């Protein structure tokens, strides 16, 4: 079983997945629980990573709908 990623590794991998088009601009990212299961980390760790990416303008929250990739991300 692989070692769960650090916060930095988690953020870098989410950014990689966005940059490679797995999560294209405007698309909804998987739920917190799905990401938690995928990365084998706690839900709170996913919340912190998503919050960091929202602060950076990479992700945008839409109340009642979820979290989406910003239409124009910063590189």
Instruction: Give pLDDT tens digits along the chain (75 positions).
Output: 578 899 999 999 999 999 999 999 999 999 999 999 999 999 999 999 999 999 999 999 999 999 999 997 444
Q: What DSSP assignment string belongs to the chain?
A: -PPPPPHHHHHHHHHHHHHTTSS-TTPBPPPHHHHHHHHT--HHHHHHHHHHHHHTTSEEEETTTEEEE-SS---
pLDDT score for 3: 86
pLDDT score for 17: 97
Structure tokens belonging to residue 21: 């088009």
pLDDT score for 39: 95
Report pTM. Answer: 0.88
Count CB-CB contacts under 10 A for residue 57.
11
> What is the distance, to the nearest Å, from the Cα of residue 2 to the centroid of all Cα atoms in its chain?
20
pLDDT score for 2: 75
């Amino acid at each position: 079983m692989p070692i769960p990623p650090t916060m930095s590794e988690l953020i870098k991998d989410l950014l990689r997945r966005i940059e490679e088009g797995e999560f294209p601009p405007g698309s909804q990212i998987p739920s917190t629980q799905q990401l938690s299961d995928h990365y084998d980390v706690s839900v709170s760790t996913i919340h912190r990573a998503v919050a960091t990416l929202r602060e950076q303008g990479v992700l945008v929250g839409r109340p009642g709908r979820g979290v989406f990739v910003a239409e124009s991300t910063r590189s």
